[in-house]
Amino acid sequence: DAGITQSPRHKVTETGTPVTLRCHQTENHRYMYWYRQDPGHGLRLIHYSYGVKDTDKGEVSDGYSVSRSKTEDFLLTLESATSSQTSVYFCAISEGTGGADEAFFGQGTRLTVV
Amino acid sequence: KNEVEQSPQNLTAQEGEFITINCSYSVGISALHWLQQHPGGGIVSLFMLSSGKKKHGRLIATINIQEKHSSLHITASHPRDSAVYICAVLDYGGSQGNLIFGKGTKLSVKP
């Protein structure tokens, strides 16, 4: 199994509080991604990174920010959580250009905003 | 607009049956992925293909680029195959890293 770990695995937070999710990889892959998964939707890309300090927005980036200060860590921050951000969040990594190379996924983080 | 459509949405089969899950897409692609998501939630990559056919154990994935269609077949299905199977494509015109995902096919294999 690819070495990719998400933390925390579960979190309940209150509306308006900041939340940071962490994705850690031991594969030294260049590309890292954050997705959210909601009922009735396929996985949707929030942000991705193509190198240290290199990030870009995905389809549903509003309300989220990311940082990548080291190859192995990709952080997703909700500056002020809202109930619409209740979701399951997945981190993924790939060695080559996203989508053109095999992707490896973390176990997911279930976030509930109350 | 759904750029990636999977069928069926739900599928129940008896152990041992041959199973086919379909994926149709409306955009030009450079790669297609099949993923498996178990009830525990983890997602595993099964195949990545851009042409032809790939086989791994009891799983076979095919793609027809001209028809914009891919199928995932499971031979001699087993209850442990019960999972959600997800198709995802990389759009030619899409931004780097932006896979487009189908909504998944939920498979339940009964003993």
- Return the residue of A nearest to B3 by Cα: A42
Q: How many CB pairs under 8 A join A and B?
A: 76
Residue A71 has pLDDT above 80, yes or no: yes
Q: What is the DSSP string of A24-69?
A: EESS--SEEEEEEE-TTS--EEEEEEEETTEEEE-TT-TTEEEEEE
Q: What is the mean pLDDT of chain A?
A: 92
The residue to which tokens 């086989």 are assigned: B55
Q: How many CB atoms lie within 10 A of CB B3?
A: 16
- Asked if the C-beta of B4 comes within 8 angstroms of chain A's C-beta atoms, the answer is yes
Each residue's pLDDT tens digit in chain B (111 positions)? 568 999 999 999 999 999 999 999 998 787 899 999 998 778 999 999 989 999 999 999 999 999 999 999 999 999 999 999 999 988 765 555 568 899 999 999 999
Residue A14 has pLDDT above 80, yes or no: yes
- Asked if the C-beta of B111 comes within 8 angstroms of chain A's C-beta atoms, the answer is no
**Count of positions (residues) in chain B:** 111
Q: Which of A99, A104, A106 sits opposite B97 (nearest CB)?
A: A99
Report the alpha-carbon distance of residue B104 to residue A49 in Å, rounded: 25
pLDDT digits (tens, 9 = 90+) for A24-43: 999 999 999 999 999 888 89
Task: Quote the minimal CA–CA distance from A6 to chain B in Å.
Answer: 11
B99 and A45: CB-CB below 8 Å?
yes
B98 and A104: CB-CB below 8 Å?
no
Q: What pLDDT sits at residue B39?
A: 82
